[in-house]
Structure 1
């Protein structure tokens, strides 16, 4: 294929000429500059990320499931984002599915041929139902596994969010929300685990964080629906109760115990709710959002 016909993710980068002849610090500076330049690819997709976050929030509100679908490095970016959501925002683990070509790797072996397996992608869509949503990620935008997956998922009634680093991505033809990350060619041509994947990870983090905010799980930059299942997170939860209510260390700890670790309920108890029943009622009336629930006390 002539250079003019190559997709953007496969092109050679001008600054890479003679790269292997340069001193180590110079190489590293160029690699870092390329990573920074990749993030500029998010500048023009803020509205699309907002639309994607709205789809995700609606999915969770309606007890749907979010599917992260990709191969290779893009799959690892999806895994890194999706696997953290239950712990960070208190989502049910069943509400998140990671569908990666060849399966989630358990070692350093990640075969490349699995990304071409569209038939396995079809099988992976068997449980998709209307009300679910799919985040399909592909640097090239033409990887058979995510493309095949979204075709069948769309037919099953799922909402489709597609993220790709090539403008004319085949994936976008099946998208309800198309997110084009305009990243420049890689310093190592075609090594999309670098700049393209960096932009993908940031885009996913931004979109899922906005989803968490719209679900009411963030209050003044604090994760108020976190699952405090280790010592560090228990201390963070106690600190959040104190920051919001001004409660003492002891009162914050007692409120968390009384709420069985439910942070929003603990905040309301420490803020003056008469008992756990009232705290739950206040949250229910506020749609799970802490700020309007606090305003009722």
Structure 2
């Protein structure tokens, strides 16, 4: 089985990796990494389908669930966790599970990824519905933990999507939508935290960001639903208001406070010269889309 996986094959360009200079190692790694976006380009249609599916889930109050093991699981967690501060989404809206549980985030839990039932049990606890979308992530495309989660999700009528770095993957065969980016042999044989991991990270970025744009979390190219939980993000919020409206810093600060730290409301208040109450009403009618609220 493994000999058929391109992610497990030896890279002919790096068979003398242990004899290369540091510069040579870095150069070949850089050259190999450049191939990843081109490989992803071949799967843009599938990624588009995935984004549209996630948007529909969100519009119907469904959730996005990432499931993976090892590097794949950690990348899912990274994407899920960062959506809350970036887009102001509730933590339960995008969740992630890793084989072996939270302890596997910082330390490998041997054997957990081989447990099909464990994957099933992890997502079973979510009480999945047809409005949810489960994305299974596995570079090899054959991780039992991920397969178990996807199989259970299918039984519950949830939407299923797979992300793998090999064609004709096992998880692709059981998913509604399959994203199979063939990143090829790694610089270090079998180390899929390299090109395969990079591909997965880029795809997850694309899916979550495009889906959030699709439900009104962005105005122009500004993260207007940013959750200001620290000084840096408070200042970023004010800068977003400035960029969106053209006002000076002092004015942005005044309206930010008048809008109860709601960036969207502050922008609408400034652009339409209206009250906070009217801004909120317009945003509610526009389902949170700033552009629709101001026209």
Same fold (TM over 0.5): yes
**Which whole-Å deviations, capped at 9, do the CAs of 1:11-50 have from their partners, x for residues lacking one?**
1111012111111211111112122223321011111111
**Which whole-Å deviations, capped at 9, do the CAs of 1:214-270 have from their partners, x for residues lacking one?**
111122211011111111111111111112122232221122222222211111112
CA distance in 1, matches of 2:102, 2:31: 30
Give the unaligned 5+ runs of structure 2: none
Partner of residue 181, structure 1: 181
CA distance in 2, matches of 1:38, 1:25: 21
CA distance in 2, matches of 1:264, 1:169: 43
Structure 1 runs (4+) deviating above 4 angstroms are: none
Give the unaligned 5+ runs of structure 1: none
Please report the TM-score for the alignment, with normalisation by the length of structure 2. Answer: 0.95
Task: Label 1:152 to 1:235 Cα distance change in 2 as closer, same or farther (>3 A).
Answer: same
CA distance in 1, matches of 2:149, 2:22: 42
CA contact (8 A) 2:74 2:105 kept: no
What is the RMSD of the two structures over their aligned residues, measured on CA atoms?
1.6
Partner of residue 230, structure 1: 230
CA contact (8 A) 1:251 1:270 kept: no
Partner of residue 217, structure 2: 217
May I ask how many residue pairs the two structures share in their alignment? Answer: 293
Partner of residue 292, structure 1: 292
Please report the TM-score for the alignment, with normalisation by the length of structure 1. Answer: 0.94
* Partner-residue secondary structure (3-state), 1:111: coil
Partner of residue 240, structure 2: 240
Alignment pair present for 1:94 and 2:85: no
What are the equivalent positions in structure 2 for 1:257-272 lying under 5 Å apart? 257-272=257-272
What are the equivalent positions in structure 2 for 1:76-225 lying under 5 Å apart? 76-105=74-103, 108-126=106-124, 127=126, 128-225=128-225
Partner of residue 44, structure 2: 46
Partner of residue 7, structure 2: 9
**Which whole-Å deviations, capped at 9, do the CAs of 1:265-289 have from their partners, x for residues lacking one?**
1111122342222111211222211
